[in-house]
Structure 1
Amino acid sequence: MNIFDVYFNSLLAGQLTIDNAMRMRFSYAEDYRANQGEPISLTMPVSTKNHSDDVVFPFVENLLPEGEIRMLIQHQNKIEDGNFARFIELLGGDVAGALSIQPLGKSPEFEQIDATTELDDAALSQLLLDIQDRPFNIYPQQQAGNRLSLAGAQNKLPVIRKSGKTFEARNAPSTHIIKPPRKDGRFKSLVYNEYICMKAAEIAGIQAAAVSLLEITDVNGLESDALLITRYDRVLPDHSNNTAQIIKRLQQEDLCQLCSIPSTMKYEVNGGPGFEALFAKINEFSLIPVKDDIEALRRIIFNLIIGNYDAHAKNFSFLVTSNGNTSLSPAYDLVCTELYENLDRTFAMSIGETQTLDTLTEASFKQMFEKINKKFSTIRKQLIKFADSSLKAVTSVVSDFREGDFYQSDIQAADKILKIAKTNHQIVLKSLRAA
């Protein structure tokens, strides 16, 4: 039996219990309930004290890394299959959202930013190199068609950024995530691919996580760029006064968690949530459902334009703001998967009965809108206009990228993304327009 304390920021929300069969239970602390604390999940209201494995397990499992990163951590730390308690010991301190899962009796760390370890260029570059073999900077035995799944295909380093300086987060809440280029050479130009797609999404009018390129230099003096992502599930401290520089966590849940589906079922073809489930959760939880409906539809169109066929249930999340309002989180992990020829091109979530772009028709959209209980005729013109805006945004970002100091192979990748967007734009427009 393993017992963990679960904190919502600095408040002890309750205890997570994992038995020898890896069944999970969560119980809210009486003081937390009495003080009307925030639910640790929208699927686990505080009004109910005890929550069982069918809801708790998928919620917790989806907080952990997946794919090849999970397998690498498992191998390096000699973790048996299904031993989620050990994963939580290693990784529970700084997960997505507002929670920190700690060993029984241990409190989360809330160091002041200036008290953490600053990373100079050499130290940062070494850490980014190390995490290729040691994901999330975990040391062995530390206490406390193929698809592209970014959580598994691209490693990440959580850090704290302040005034252009980088600090090692350890267990303190991180403010940024750095994705370095892959050391093994797979998915070439992936850093620039995601940078272009994320920037284009923002220009097109999608709410997207802020990204930039961070130049790093390895021990041999070789320069490269990593992707620097600002965490939207963190509230940065006010640097204008001398109060303690504490970072606050905001609660976030992805669609798998809200549907109580484990990450292994994130694709609709594997039994995971589709667009019908996404819009149902928007209607159930969003403060302004109509606004999030439009945002979700824009993301569907944008993903089609850029050739991102890996927009699965874990790539749609809901954010609970500091005032308790819930809405779709900013978009993240937007990538042109079509750039890589060996990746599956079937849709992670089908559009109507359609699963590939080359079979997309007006009937596909009508079927999808019927499933989500929306009127296609009332939104058709907006989606056509947004498809045009999406292509214009990709064109603008790629044009700026060409002017940068990049390798020719990376410029060629950017040009190919634009070519894909132009081709897909025509297919999408044809499917949206009335015959």
Structure 2
Amino acid sequence: MRKLQIYIEIEGKQTYVGLITGDSPQDAQFAYSDSYIAAGYPPISISLPISRNPFSAEATKNFFEGLLPEGFARKTVANWIHAEEDDYLTILSVLGAECLGALRISDGADDTGDYKLLSIDDVKALAKEGVSKSTELITEAHLSLTGASGKVGLYYDAERDMWYQPNGDAPSTHIVKQSHVRLSDIVTNEQLSLITASKLGISIPESFIINTGAARDEEILFATKRYDRMIPESPTYTRGLIRPFRLHQEDFAQALGISSYEKYEKGEKQYLPQIFHLLRNYVADPIADQLKLWDLLIYDYLVGNTDNHIKNISLLYSENLKTIRFAPAYDIVSTVIYPGSSREMAIGIGGERNIDHMKREHFARAAADAGLSKKMALKHFDALADGFEKALNEMSIQLMEEGYPKARDIREQILKEGGYSHL
């Protein structure tokens, strides 16, 4: 029988949580340890409340598989380690030393952490060589990041402008995504989409473009500072680098106990009332966080981000796990500017998912589904819609001045193809 040990970092200390035991993904079950329960620690997920009984194989898989890469990245990792693509236990045992949030998965092997300095040629290779290079790095580093695009977790020393590859349980500080393995000019697109959101008052993590050449797609990377890492007041060091604390997080698919394969709303599932229900009942400031999510849903519509699925919104826990807040917005891209992209929003609004049919009136209906005041919800809609074009223009000019001229074309495409064009 296979056994995977689950740990979580609480105020900088690794704490044993429990075990996943089973012979295969079909029968593997997670159970909290007696010591974790006795210490009175909170659950590691809303979908896995504290219990002395093991959770079903389905509940176990839905949460823990949600820590893994998806799509081609997962397939490539599986090939690297000679595992079946659907064997989430084996993949997790290899990649689980450093996950999103504060969890660590161990099969009992030594996970001592370290940092390896990356040369400029290493960074250029990451930008140039595509998803095969990123999956090679995450496999070597035992690092698990969710999502389907080519990305890695790296440590950035801002004072010396140096990048390091974490190994074992050494925490990363930034998530770095490749450009040309996804879509044309997507790095400029994502940076423009994020900083415009910030200009409109939406909380985002710090992000920047890494240019290793002449700013062509194969020469740039997109770096996002991890909001689930923090620098402690009394730090420890590894190779002269401050080790950040990990903060626990879970995306809304994990919190709702929904499989990653069902992250896009289909049929009559209606994810919107479910995610607002979680915010009302579990976060420390329900009113503020519901409005943050509402603003994000409006902005996704305006900018044309139809990839706004429930794994792209998360809950962030305090360092002692005792309070939960709505996490900063991430993975915002105007997807609709690309030919052949889906026109269906990943979360339905007022009974409508097609962005071309969606109007202000659908947000009025959605306010009732979300449990929000219609007057207040539409006030937020109008404020964001009124300020959108000005913010987008200002941020596109800023990016052009920084050396990314395609920001102008992307701005025009967003205004033509995004939800803003239907107002």
TM-score (structure 2 length as normaliser) = 0.88
Q: Deviations along 1:258-295, whole A, 9 cap, x unmatched?
A: 11111111111167662111101111211111001110
Q: Deviations along 1:79-113, whole A, 9 cap, x unmatched?
A: 2242112211221111111101011x3354344xx
Residue matched to 1:203: 199
Residue matched to 1:173: 171
Q: How far off its partner does 1:13 sit?
A: 1.3
**Which runs of structure 2 are paired with 1:1-400 in the superposition (5 Å)?**
1-9=1-9, 10-20=14-24, 22-48=26-52, 50-103=54-107, 105-106=108-109, 108-111=111-114, 116-130=115-129, 132-138=131-137, 151-152=147-148, 154-162=149-157, 163=159, 164-171=161-168, 172-183=170-181, 187-217=183-213, 224-238=219-233, 245-269=242-266, 274-323=271-320, 324-400=322-398
Question: CA distance change for structure 1 residues 86 and 366 in 2, over 3 Å: closer, same or farther?
Answer: same
Give 3-state SS (helix, strand or coil) of 1:379's partner.
Answer: helix
Question: CA distance change for structure 1 residues 234 and 366 in 2, over 3 Å: closer, same or farther?
Answer: same
Larger displacement relative to structure 2 (242-251 or 92-101): 242-251
What letter matches 2:402 in structure 1?
G
Whether contact under 8 Å (2:237, 2:243) holds in the other structure is no
Are residues 1:416 and 2:412 paired?
yes
Residue matched to 1:433: none
Question: CA distance change for structure 1 residues 357 and 241 in 2, over 3 Å: closer, same or farther?
Answer: closer
Q: How far off its partner does 1:404 sit?
A: 3.1
Give 3-state SS (helix, strand or coil) of 1:179's partner.
Answer: strand
Question: CA distance change for structure 1 residues 130 and 23 in 2, over 3 Å: closer, same or farther?
Answer: farther
2:272 and 2:22 map into 1 onto residues whose CA distance is: 32
1:143 and 1:345 map into 2 onto residues whose CA distance is: 36
Question: CA distance change for structure 1 residues 167 and 270 in 2, over 3 Å: closer, same or farther?
Answer: farther
1:363 and 1:86 map into 2 onto residues whose CA distance is: 48
Q: How far off its partner does 1:49 sit?
A: 5.1
What letter matches 1:101 in structure 2?
I
Q: How far off its partner does 1:46 sit?
A: 3.2
How many percent of aligned residue pairs carry the same amino acid? 24
Whether contact under 8 Å (2:273, 2:369) holds in the other structure is yes
Whether contact under 8 Å (1:90, 1:142) holds in the other structure is no
Whether contact under 8 Å (2:313, 2:327) holds in the other structure is yes
Whether contact under 8 Å (2:34, 2:52) holds in the other structure is no
Whether contact under 8 Å (1:159, 1:175) holds in the other structure is yes
2:351 and 2:283 map into 1 onto residues whose CA distance is: 27
2:315 and 2:59 map into 1 onto residues whose CA distance is: 17
2:141 and 2:403 map into 1 onto residues whose CA distance is: 40
1:135 and 1:270 map into 2 onto residues whose CA distance is: 35
Whether contact under 8 Å (1:251, 1:320) holds in the other structure is yes
Larger displacement relative to structure 2 (11-20 or 284-293): 11-20
2:268 and 2:29 map into 1 onto residues whose CA distance is: 24
What letter matches 1:109 in structure 2?
T
Give 3-state SS (helix, strand or coil) of 2:301's partner.
Answer: helix
The gaps in structure 2 that reach 5 residues or longer are: none
2:124 and 2:383 map into 1 onto residues whose CA distance is: 43
Whether contact under 8 Å (1:110, 1:246) holds in the other structure is no
Q: Deviations along 1:105-132, whole A, 9 cap, x unmatched?
A: 3354344xxxx21112112222444552
Whether contact under 8 Å (1:6, 1:15) holds in the other structure is yes
Whether contact under 8 Å (1:238, 1:245) holds in the other structure is no
Q: Deviations along 1:289-338, whole A, 9 cap, x unmatched?
A: 10011101110111111111110111111000114210110000000001
The gaps in structure 1 that reach 5 residues or longer are: 145-149, 429-435
Q: How far off its partner does 1:363 sit?
A: 3.8
What letter matches 2:258 in structure 1?
I
What letter matches 1:117 in structure 2?
K
Question: CA distance change for structure 1 residues 321 and 222 in 2, over 3 Å: closer, same or farther?
Answer: closer
1:71 and 1:197 map into 2 onto residues whose CA distance is: 29
Whether contact under 8 Å (2:101, 2:246) holds in the other structure is yes
What letter matches 1:347 in structure 2?
M
1:139 and 1:350 map into 2 onto residues whose CA distance is: 34
2:237 and 2:113 map into 1 onto residues whose CA distance is: 16
Whether contact under 8 Å (1:90, 1:138) holds in the other structure is no
TM-score (structure 1 length as normaliser) = 0.86
Q: How far off its partner does 1:214 sit?
A: 1.3
Whether contact under 8 Å (1:189, 1:413) holds in the other structure is no
Please tell me the root mean square deviation across aligned C-alpha atoms, in Å. Answer: 2.8
